[in-house]
Amino acid sequence: PLELELELARLEHAHERLARRRQATQAEVNSLQLRAISEGLWLYAVRSAGLRISSGGGRRELALAEALAAHLPPHLQERELLPVRLHAARVFIEEGRFELARETLAPCRALVDESLRDTPEDFELVLVESLLQWRQGVYDAAASSLRARLADVQRALGEDSFLAVNFLVNLTAIEQERGRPDEAIELMQETARRVERVDGPDALRLGPIFNNLGLALMSVGRLEEAERAVRRAGVIWTALHGADHPQLAFVYTNLGDVYAAMGRDEEAAAELARALEIRRAGLGEQHPYTAYTHLSRARLFLKTGDPEAASAEATAALETRAALYDESSWLPAEARVELGRALLARGELDAARAEAALARAAIERSTGAPAELGAALTRLEAALR
């Protein structure tokens, strides 16, 4: 068991630090799990199942972990499954399988409320629960969840702890998407300074901070600063993942948006094409992040005078978002606004009005729609009168 404990720790480190070696690491995890099962060491078998999920697995691996956990003493079963379920829920959220994520998190919340309040497991669960709300576009609830427990995690684990910083990273990104960029910029810059003091200027957890900072700076017109921030995120993530990892598609999409705002349209087109290629290859067409890149391309094509291409990109984004999100989300409405703009540019006024009407109804039903989306829809409606 001690040998397996050391091997498991080594593989956890390899997974975190050498993500670009995913195939090799996955093979090692498989070997460890088979050995643990063959020797009846069920604790290590369950923990290695968690690594399989965090290496890109999903529902099948979660079911295997639950079956393996049945061999553990009853008092250990749910506790050992908690990190496995959290890993799985993150995977499901990133895949847009929100109902499955919600089902996976339900037993986690019951266990934490019973016996694990104010522990790292509790705070990790809050992060995942708020991530689910965030990805569904329910920004107010996501931000409230994080703010309600921020002081708790800072007091229990320290302001510079990994989980406390993650609370701030996610909160700043949500504030940016809620249309509060000034507050987000100040919070992100302070978080970056704190991480740099503790971990140094190349710290891995600076990647999402600088990426989100770039978005916030772009939204207030500080484009040169935005470009520098996004590029710094790209350097950090490239060192970890390599240049063609799906994580880098965030950088390429955001650089494309920055360049479009600067009027550097050819560079914007190149970055967005690269982002779309990577997301299609790594995530598939029907993925929320792929839809995000489609919308950026739709805006660029409309800006450069190609409403046909803009319409195709907006339609692709709408098809994905309409399939993934329910009526409580405003995200399909965002795609409808871009499609309506493209249809207007093509002279298809009735179709554009129909999309605008559907977008208006969706925004009125939804919670947390950003003010800028409402303003964009109002401009479209005025142009269609």
Give 87-139 as a DSSP string.
Answer: HHHHHHHHTT-HHHHHHHHHHHHHHHHHH-TTSHHHHHHHHHHHHHHHHTT-H
Q: What percent of the chain has pLDDT over 90?
A: 47
The two most distant CA atoms of the chain are separated, in Å, by: 73
Mean model confidence pLDDT for the chain: 85
∠ CA 176-352-384 to the nearest 5 degrees?
90
Q: What is the pLDDT of residue 84?
A: 81
Who has greater pLDDT, 289 or 337?
A: 337
Quote the tokens at residue 29.
Answer: 């995890």
* Contact between residue 145 and residue 126 where contact means Cβ atoms under 8 Å apart: yes
- pTM for this prediction: 0.74
In this structure, which long-range contacts are made by residues 233-237, counting pairs with CB atoms below 8 Å and at least 24 apart in sequence? 233/206, 233/207, 233/208, 233/209, 236/202, 236/203, 236/204, 236/206, 236/207, 236/210, 237/207
- List pLDDT tens digits, range 36-64: 666 666 666 667 666 666 545 567 777 77
pLDDT of 18 strictly over 60: no
Quote the tokens at residue 80.
Answer: 């050992």
Q: What is the C-alpha to C-alpha distance for residues 89 and 379, in angstroms, rounded to an integer?
A: 38
Quote the tokens at residue 60.
Answer: 């099948």
Q: Is 369 left (phi over 0), alpha (psi -120 to 50) or beta?
A: beta
How does 5-30 read in b/e, with b if 16+ C-beta sit within 10 Å? eebbeebbebbeeebbebeebbebbe
Q: What is the pLDDT of residue 2?
A: 61
- List pLDDT tens digits, range 332-384: 999 999 999 999 999 999 999 999 999 999 999 876 678 889 999 999 999 99
* Contact between residue 209 and residue 169 where contact means Cβ atoms under 8 Å apart: yes
Quote the tokens at residue 298.
Answer: 């739709």
Q: What is the pLDDT of residue 55?
A: 47
pLDDT of 238 strictly over 80: yes
